[in-house]
Chains A and B, each alone.
Chain A
Amino acid sequence: MSIYAYLVAGYLVLIGSYGIVRSRHMVHAVVSLSVAQGGTYVLLLAVGYQRGATAPVFGSTTKPSTDVVDPVVQAMTLTDIVVSATVTALLLALAVQVNKRHGTVDPDELAALKG
């Protein structure tokens, strides 16, 4: 168990990259990229987790203590999620244009010897 969460995070990055490598559709590649990004979320939160600790949000009555999970990794994950969403949007927009210009979004058909 001790490293299972980290391994799942690594697996997400790898399976996402694998998806790009074998992709036959640019949208599929972009979606796979966002799966790879999901790995970084899991890694971040796993690193900040503490068994038995609560969320880092205090009520107006509860006494603040440091017995909470790490808020810093959560803040970074939030940032990361926004970045991922916006990058995905941008890449999808580009994919739409690639399709308009080439009539295909299959990397195998797009690839040409550039030299």
Chain B
Amino acid sequence: MHGTAQLLLPVLVAAPILVACLLVAAGPFLPRRIVDSLAIATALAVTAAAALLLVATGSGRRVSWSGGWQPVRRVTVGIPFVADPVAAGLALLIAALTTCTLVYAWHYFDETESHLHALILFFLAGMEGLVLTGDLFDMIVFFELMGVAGYALTGIKVEDESAVEGALNFGIVNSLGAYLSLAGLVVLYARVGKLDLPGLGDALAHHPPDALVVASFVLIVTGFLVKAAMVPFHFWLPDAHASAPAPVCALFSGVMVELGLYGVLRLFWVVYGETIPPADLRRALLVLGVATAVLGSAMCFGQRHLKRLLAFSTIAHVGLIMVMAAMLTPDGIGAAGLYVLGHAGAISALFLITGLLLNRHGSADELDLFGRARGERVLLVLFFAAALALVGLPPFGTALGVSIAVHAIVSAGYPWILALLVLVSAVTAGAVLRSGMRVFLAVGPAPEHSQSAPDETTTGDEERDTRPLQRTPGTMLAAIVVLVLGSLAVGVLPHGGEVVAKAAERFIDGSGYSDQALSSAPPTPLHAHPAATWSPLGVGLGVLSTLLALGFAALGLWPDRLRLLLRPMQAGMKPVRALHTGHVGDYVAWLFAGVAALAALVGLPLL
């Protein structure tokens, strides 16, 4: 191993923690401007370091054993940090997104002093740690760090009654998920006596998938699936998003939720890849992904609280990402990776714009806001650009993801999934377009009484994130512009697909991961991926989704014209909506039902 890039690995985790500690200690004595600058500078530095690391991983993985406990004969007591291109790419996305949200939150939350910044930096460190660590126990530790910072950020508006409640449910459900993960880890540890991912991969290679192996896998991934908001582990997400501050939502939806999927896939490829048959896992992940995408999009369309609407859109899209990744091929993983990048820019921008609307007009309800943002040209352009990125209109990054996914899905033999992709994108983006048309353009009939049928769905009554601003600061707009452009850049940059496909190929090479970490074996050469680029079918599907999304938006705006069509849909959705009760007992009951279902999906075919 040559070069010094691996030295960056622990720094990416430790640097934000050190600065956050400084902010905790000295924050009360520092002027607000310094606190803001310090936090942003740190996030920027981490972004730069992650970019360097990403470049360095082009020639193979970077490994750093902490404590100098290098493995001897593939065995050690130490903990590795490992970066392959996927991990480094995610590290870059995390840091860049955090920078954007910190820039946006300049002037935010005067009453929490430096604590908000410290929490965001701890959250950043937790996410970086989760993607970069090569140790199973540390994955859970960083997962919890991410969680603890996340619960606090969700409930930070203590005056908002749904914020604290959402944070509490989020905390209980996620912690329980983490405890089940830990239990799974212990079960596995009892058998093999190791905790580092590469070593675990060694130990389980060609190991029969017996009950212990399957049970440990199911329990460990439960924690990650809760974070990834897969049905039926998803209930906490809309509650938490509906009331968390907009920049926090942007971080949650843009990257935190997706990290749950990363955890599942990393664990599978490195540790369980050679014991649990891929076909078996594919079936389980497909069921989860499809259910999540369908439920998320159906729920999304019925919302009027913008943040709740976007939250369900996130659920639907994470479902789609899961479906792409479930192909378990380099193409599928690469497509999912691109989609994550493109989606992050789009959904984060939408959340930040909603945050501005909430600040300006004191509401996040699309009916209350009807026509109230008319004349805000810049926001209008940004909103619709982000909505089109969400639907996957070429040349946004999401569209490139779909384009590559088409190849993966068709060659894996699931052509019907293409219809699902188009429909889910169209329905969610249709809902977003509908609300945008109402809020910015006053299209459609004006709502007669905005508080109609409050029992049907949550209204957008919400406390402002921070005191009302007189005019939109340039920093906030800049953050949104960067996010939208980022989503565009992912699709436009040359060879994007090829780079990501190679990263994916590296990612799924589990034994290569172990070999390079444990015995400094040289990285295996990568193949060319000619199919990983725009395809006519993919572009066509993107355009089709966009047209359908416009249709769905119209359907939402003029529901009276198509009442015959809508009635049965609404009636069908009623019992599903009734499940989203905000009751923590319900959520925990569903959690266990979900674990049982997952165990059946993965385990029963192997009996």
Chain A residues within 8 Å of B, Cβ to Cβ: 9-10, 13, 17, 20-23, 26, 29-30, 33, 36-37, 39-40, 43-44, 47, 72-73, 76, 79-80, 83, 86-87, 90-91, 94-95, 97-98, 100-102, 107-108, 110-115
Contact = CB atoms under 8 A, between A and B. Distances in A.
Given A20-B176, A26-B168, A115 B580 contact: yes
B172 A83 contact: no
Given A33-B172, A101-B161, A114-B581, A13 B180 contact: yes
Query: Considering residues A10, A17, A37, A39, which has the most beta carbons from chain B within 10 angstroms of its beta carbon?
Result: A17
Contacts of A108: 583
B577 A97 contact: no
Interface stretch (B340-348, B383-391, B506-514, B585-593): B585-593
Closest 9 CB pairs of A and B: A101-B161, A115-B457, A111-B583, A97-B164, A115-B577, A94-B168, A47-B190, A21-B585, A111-B581
Given A47-B190, A110-B165, A115-B577, 13 more contacts: A21-B585, A23-B584, A26-B584, A29-B584, A30-B172, A37-B175, A79-B137, A80-B182, A83-B144, A98-B161, A102-B165, A110-B582, A114-B458
A107 B578 contact: no
B186 A40 contact: yes
B158 A21 contact: no
A87 B167 CA distance: 12
B62 to A, nearest CB: 26
B183 A91 contact: no
B151 A114 contact: no
B168 A91 contact: yes
Nearest to B185: A76
Contacts of B308: 114
B186 A44 contact: yes
Task: Name the residue in A79, A102, A115 with the highest tally of chain B Cβ atoms < 10 Å from its Cβ.
Answer: A115
Given A29-B584, A91-B168, A36 B179 contact: yes
B148 A87 contact: yes
Given A87-B148, A108-B583, A114-B457, A98 B164 contact: yes
Given A30-B172, A39-B183, A90-B148, A113 B164 contact: no
B161 A102 contact: yes
Nearest to B578: A113
A107 B583 contact: yes
B141 interface: yes
A78 to B, nearest CB: 12
B171 interface: yes
Contacts of B588: 17, 20-21
A9 B144 CA distance: 21
Nearest to A44: B186
Contacts of B137: 76, 79
Contact of A95 (B168, B175, B190, B582): B168
Given A90-B171, A94-B151, A95-B168, A20 B584 contact: yes
Contact of B585 (A22, A73, A79, A94): A22
Contact of A47 (B141, B186, B457): B186
Contacts of B577: 113, 115
B69 interface: no
A112 B582 contact: yes
A49 to B, nearest CB: 11
Contacts of B538: none
Contacts of B186: 40, 43-44, 47, 73
A79 B588 CA distance: 24
Given A40-B179, A40-B186, A94-B171, A20 B585 contact: yes
Contacts of B201: none
Contacts of B303: 115
A13 B302 CA distance: 37
Contacts of A72: 195
